[in-house]
């Protein structure tokens, strides 16, 4: 008869105790390793009892891989794991941070900054549910989302991954966790990970803690703030995440007052696991422990010792599993790391795997394949887009609003670098880690296509990415729509010191908006950027953030099928010299304040 740990009728605690009693040290340590998919093989999974495999940003089994391609790859690793001595299933993780963004044809939702502008936690919960289905469509039961950073300086390259500068808004948006995992039953014990098997996924609150508070927004750098500031600004959303049963927490690359988070035992073991009673597992970031030495990987034994003693349970190694396993095994044998720290880590990993139903359903199947990029999810994304747009200016004076635009006009101009570029409107973490340019790397609706689909059939829509003043003046356009902003970026590549709109954006604005034609400028950006110089010349101004694949949502509000309801989730500064400048600061002198947003009715 099968061992107790394989019996789903047994209480999970009993199954864990039985399995732990059977595990050898190397099997326990194997569970604590997460390998990149390019370093993993079924043989390695079996031989070392590796706990997890991941796709990093943009890492796919094939270009334009189908759901079946994903499932075949993942089941290949899983077969290796299930053929190990104890048959402990591996868990596959991926960054599904605005929909299942690595995957061709997945629905790409607005990035978190745009979702913050909606102030709609129920919408965000529904997005979590859709994202879970699209992840499961590809056989993936674990996503490295949500990022619950509280970005306090828009010069940070990851500010768009943050819902808001305001911890209250970020707390509300943790509703995505029950969307991803399922609603935790009210009688659940605090801190225990909760996931409904089959159509939900394990989530990951990241990056613990203070990732959005670094000085000048320098990525992976130092957050200098006193304990009260850390606990009142950057910690609250972790309290909500744990109460909602989040399965995992990822540690931040950043430091708090000079101490690297990946070595911060007081906050991981002490506060997260002790005070907050978090019972899921803590995972490092990619080579996060390597970066504990100023020259990364200079002293890997120290990195392993410091990271594991701090309370990290699973290490995103991601390449060299034998080095990690050998170093950790030696540290345990020398009793530098006590066995009960290893047992704590493995028990947490097993608890997530049992509660996720992985032991009962280790192999993925195609039952959710039709959820990938489904019309229903695209309609949801379109709803999110139109609720995320913030109307900053509407007419050069109150009595002459430009928006909503008339659908029937003789001839209109659509201009700008971001009007016909699906990659630009999706931003970073889309298909590739750093995002893409053009319209061919996945499926969606560009803003230009959406405009064409919305206006009256008799309206002549002229598209010129970068028109001359003369062209604009001599064509007798009824009005012009200019779509410009930031190119895609991710992580440190997005750090900016000046936050200016890059060429040719400013010249497109001045060529189109400087003359007699009324113009609305739609800004595609991950954060507030310098707009002050252009404000007087534009007739209307819309912050569209990074809307994702469903550009139709932009046209829905531009042409009045729905009213603008978005509100700024972040302060729009006048000049970068003012930064950092957040709602509630003494010297608060914004171009547009936190919560600002003009409204229009639906026509
Ligand atoms: O994709 C896995 C994790 C992701 O979940 C984290 O939010 C993010 O900080 C991150 N950066 C890298 C990464 C950065 C540079 C080179 C290679 C990989 C990998 N990852």
The answer to whether 380 touches 130, Cβ cutoff 8 Å, is yes
* pLDDT tens-digit readout, 552-575: 999 999 999 999 999 999 999 999
The answer to whether 199 touches 358, Cβ cutoff 8 Å, is no
Q: Check residue 50 and give its pLDDT.
A: 98
Q: Check residue 398 and give its pLDDT.
A: 83
| Cβ(56) – ligand 1 distance below 6 Å | yes
* pLDDT tens-digit readout, 430-460: 999 999 999 999 999 999 999 999 999 999 9
* Residue identifier of the C-alpha nearest atom 14 of ligand 1: 286
Q: Check residue 601 and give its pLDDT.
A: 86
Q: Check residue 603 and give its pLDDT.
A: 72
Known catalytic residue at 285: yes
Which residue intervals of 119-232 are DSSP H helices? 121-137, 167-172, 176-181, 227-229
Q: What is the pTM for the complete model shown?
A: 0.99
Neighbours of 198 (CB within 10 A): 15
Give the residue, out of 52, 57, 291, with the most ligand 1 atoms within 8 A of its beta carbon, to mutate for a pocket test: 57
Mean pLDDT of 128-149: 99
Distance in angstroms (rounded) separating the CA atoms of residues 115 and 389: 9
| Cβ(433) – ligand 1 distance below 6 Å | no
Mean pLDDT of 61-90: 98
Which residue intervals of 185-233 are DSSP H helices? 227-229
Position 497 confidence tier, pLDDT thresholds 50, 70, 90: very high
Query: SS in 3 state form for 11-52?
Result: CHHHHHHHHHHHCCHHHHHHHCEEEECCCCCHHHHHHHCCCE
Q: How far is the CA of 95 from the centre of ligand 1 (A)?
A: 9
Comparing CA positions, the residue from 97, 122, 109, 117 lying closest to residue 164 is 117
Comparing CA positions, the residue from 466, 479, 462 lying closest to residue 517 is 479
| Cβ(285) – ligand 1 distance below 6 Å | yes
Position 428 confidence tier, pLDDT thresholds 50, 70, 90: very high
Which residue intervals of 416-544 are DSSP H helices? 422-426, 447-454, 469-474, 505-513
The answer to whether 309 touches 265, Cβ cutoff 8 Å, is yes
* pLDDT tens-digit readout, 281-325: 999 999 999 999 999 999 999 999 999 999 999 999 999 999 999
Q: Mean pLDDT for the chain?
A: 98
Position 1 confidence tier, pLDDT thresholds 50, 70, 90: confident
Q: Check residue 602 and give its pLDDT.
A: 82
* Residue identifier of the C-alpha nearest atom 10 of ligand 1: 286
């Amino acid at each position: 008869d099968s061992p107790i740990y394989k019996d789903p009728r047994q209480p999970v605690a009993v199954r864990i105790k039985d399995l732990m009693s059977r595990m050898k040290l190397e099997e326990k340590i194997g569970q604590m390793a997460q390998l990149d998919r390019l370093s993993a093989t079924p043989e390695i999974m079996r031989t070392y009892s590796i706990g997890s495999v991941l796709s990093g940003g943009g890492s796919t089994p094939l270009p334009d891989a189908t759901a079946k391609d994903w499932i075949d790859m993942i089941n290949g690793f899983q077969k290796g794991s299930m053929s190990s001595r104890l048959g402990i299933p591996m868990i596959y993780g991926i960054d599904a941070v605005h929909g299942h963004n690595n995957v061709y044809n997945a629905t790409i939702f607005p990035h978190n900054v745009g979702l913050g502008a909606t102030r709609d936690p129920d919408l965000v919960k529904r997005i979590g549910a859709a994202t879970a289905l699209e992840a499961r469509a590809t056989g993936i039961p674990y996503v490295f989302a949500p990022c619950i950073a509280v970005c306090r300086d828009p010069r940070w390259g990851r500010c768009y991954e943050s819902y808001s500068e305001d911890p209250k808004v970020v707390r509300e948006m943790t509703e995505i966790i029950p969307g991803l995992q399922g609603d935790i039953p009210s009688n659940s014990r605090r801190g225990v990970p909760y996931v409904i098997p089959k159509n939900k996924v394990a989530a990951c609150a990241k990056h613990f803690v203070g990732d959005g508070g670094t000085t000048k927004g320098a990525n992976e750098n130092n957050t200098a703030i006193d304990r009260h500031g850390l606990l009142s600004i950057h910690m609250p959303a972790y309290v909500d995440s744990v109460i909602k049963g989040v399965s995992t927490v990822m540690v931040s690359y950043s430091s708090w007052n000079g101490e690297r988070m990946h070595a911060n035992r007081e906050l991981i073991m002490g506060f997260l696991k002790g005070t907050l009673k978090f019972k899921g597992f803590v995972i490092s970031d990619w080579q996060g422990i390597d970066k504990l030495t100023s020259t990364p990987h200079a002293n890997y034994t120290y990195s392993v010792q410091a990271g594991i003693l701090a309370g990290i349970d699973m290490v995103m190694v991601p390449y060299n599993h034998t080095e990690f396993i050998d170093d950790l095994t030696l540290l345990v044998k020398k009793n530098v790391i006590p066995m009960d720290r290893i047992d704590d880590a493995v028990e947490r990993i097993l608890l997530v795997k049992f509660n996720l139903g992985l032991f009962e359903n280790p192999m993925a199947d195609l039952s959710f394949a039709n959820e990938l990029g489904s019309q229903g999810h695209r309609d949801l994304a379109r709803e999110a887009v139109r609720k995320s747009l913030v109307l900053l200016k509407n007419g050069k004076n109150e009595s002459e609003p430009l928006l909503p635009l008339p659908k029937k006009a003789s001839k209109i101009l659509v201009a700008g670098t971001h009007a016909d570029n699906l990659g630009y409107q999706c931003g970073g973490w889309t298909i590739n880690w750093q995002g893409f340019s053009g319209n061919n790397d996945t499926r969606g609706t560009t803003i230009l296509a959406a405009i064409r689909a919305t206006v009256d059939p008799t309206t002549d829509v002229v598209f010129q990415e970068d028109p001359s003043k003369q062209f604009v003046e001599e064509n007798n356009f009824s009005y012009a729509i200019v779509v410009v902003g930031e190119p895609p970026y991710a992580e440190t590549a997005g750090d900016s010191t000046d936050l200016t709109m890059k060429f040719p954006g400013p010249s497109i604005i001045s060529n189109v908006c400087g003359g007699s034609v009324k113009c609305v400028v739609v800004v595609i950006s991950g954060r507030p950027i310098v707009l002050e110089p252009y404000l007087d010349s534009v007739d209307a101004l819309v912050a569209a953030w990074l809307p994702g694949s469903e550009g139709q949502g932009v046209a829905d509000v531009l042409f009045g099928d729905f009213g603008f309801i978005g509100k700024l989730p972040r302060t729009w500064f006048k000049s970068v010299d003012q930064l950092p400048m957040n709602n509630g600061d003494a010297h608060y002198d914004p171009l547009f304040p936190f919560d600002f947003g003009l409204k229009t009715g639906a026509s």
